[in-house]
A and B are shown apart, each in its own frame.
Chain A
Amino acid sequence: DTGVSQDPRHKITKRGQNVTFRCDPISEHNRLYWYRQTLGQGPEFLTYFQNEAQLEKSRLLSDRFSAERPKGSFSTLEIQRTEQGDSAMYLCASSSRGRPNEKLFFGSGTQLSVL
């Protein structure tokens, strides 16, 4: 039983570069979430997919951020023209088709450092 996997685990980039992260949820889960966590803080919701449809985006998600989930399987989160303030841990989570507010299964995250 594989969990949620995220790739890469760490990413170091220079300001202004584009980066893309990948998340593979648990295979039978139809809901997928992206959260961002900065040092000393709890995770903050970014966006949510049900199957391939992106149903909600946080105001935290500026125009430089885009997320996709083609075919309702894996998801990618792209950040264009990165800024130092984008440095954070990006967490992906998935949950099953069951009733709402089911528990989330989290990946280990992608740690982004923007120099």
Chain B
Amino acid sequence: AQKVTQAQTEISVVEKEDVTLDCVYETRDTTYYLFWYKQPPSGELVFLIRRNSFDEQNEISGRYSWNFQKSTSSFNFTITASQVVDSAVYFCALSEPHTGANSKLTFGKGITLSVRP
């Protein structure tokens, strides 16, 4: 069975600090997709990144970067120079193509990030 674990529940940092959000997943499949979504107080989940299991290249997008390591089944997310607007709940999610429903996601419990001015 697929599972996503986000061991951190709440993180509080001061603006401009770097912060890393951890994600560990479990799957029996060799082909799968990993996602990060952000949920601000308005409630609407916003897509941040998708990575497939064959692409272990790390990615940087502005202040965001992702570290995907199949050997440790981890897909960690780092925000550099955090800003107050980064305050939100961040979810890691896993999708397995064989499940039939495209983009049927298994989510972690989320990490609440608070960035203080």
Q: Footprint of B on A, CB under 8 Å?
A: 3, 31, 33, 35, 40-45, 48, 50, 55-56, 89, 91, 93, 95, 100-109, 111
Known: A100-B97, A108-B42, A108-B44. A95 touches B109 (CB 8 A): no
Pairwise interchain contact B102-A101, C-beta atoms closer than 8 A: yes
Contacts of B95 in A (CB 8 A): 101
Q: Is the CB of A33 within 8 A of B93?
A: no
* Smallest CB separation, B3 vs chain A (Å): 11
Q: Does B85 contact A (CB under 8 A)?
A: no
Distance between B24 CB and nearest chain A CB, rounded to angstroms: 14
Q: Does B103 contact A (CB under 8 A)?
A: yes
Q: Give 6 closest A-B pairs by Cβ, nearest first.
A: A42-B107, A100-B102, A48-B101, A103-B47, A106-B45, A56-B101
- Given A45-B104, A89-B43, A95-B103, 15 more contacts at CB 8 Å? A41-B110, A42-B4, A42-B93, A42-B108, A45-B106, A56-B99, A56-B100, A93-B103, A95-B102, A101-B102, A102-B50, A102-B102, A103-B35, A105-B47, A106-B37
Quote the shortest CB–CB distance from A61 to chain B (angstroms).
Answer: 13
Distance between A67 CB and nearest chain B CB, rounded to angstroms? 13
**Which residues, 74 to 117 on B, are CB-close (under 8 Å) to A?**
91, 93, 95, 97, 99-110
Of the A-B pairs whose beta carbons lie under 8 Å apart in the complex, a sample of 18, sorted by A's number, is A43-B91, A43-B105, A44-B107, A45-B106, A48-B101, A48-B102, A55-B101, A100-B97, A100-B103, A101-B52, A102-B50, A103-B35, A103-B103, A106-B44, A106-B45, A107-B44, A108-B42, A109-B44
**Option from A31, A43, A55, A111 in Cβ contact (under 8 Å) with B45:** A43
Residues on A with C-beta less than 8 A from B108 are 42
Binary contact readout B44-75 vs A (1 if CB under 8 angstroms, 0 otherwise): 11110010100000000000000000000000
Kindly report which residue of chain A lies nearest to residue B96, judged by CB atoms.
A101
- The residues of A that contact B102 with a CB separation of less than 8 Å are 31, 48, 50, 95, 100-102
- Chain B residues near A44: list those with CB within 8 A: 107
Q: How far is the CB of A96 from chain B (nearest CB, A)?
A: 10
Q: Which residues of B contact A35 (CB under 8 A)?
A: 105
Q: What are the residues of chain A within 8 A of B105 when measuring CB–CB?
A: 35, 43, 45, 104
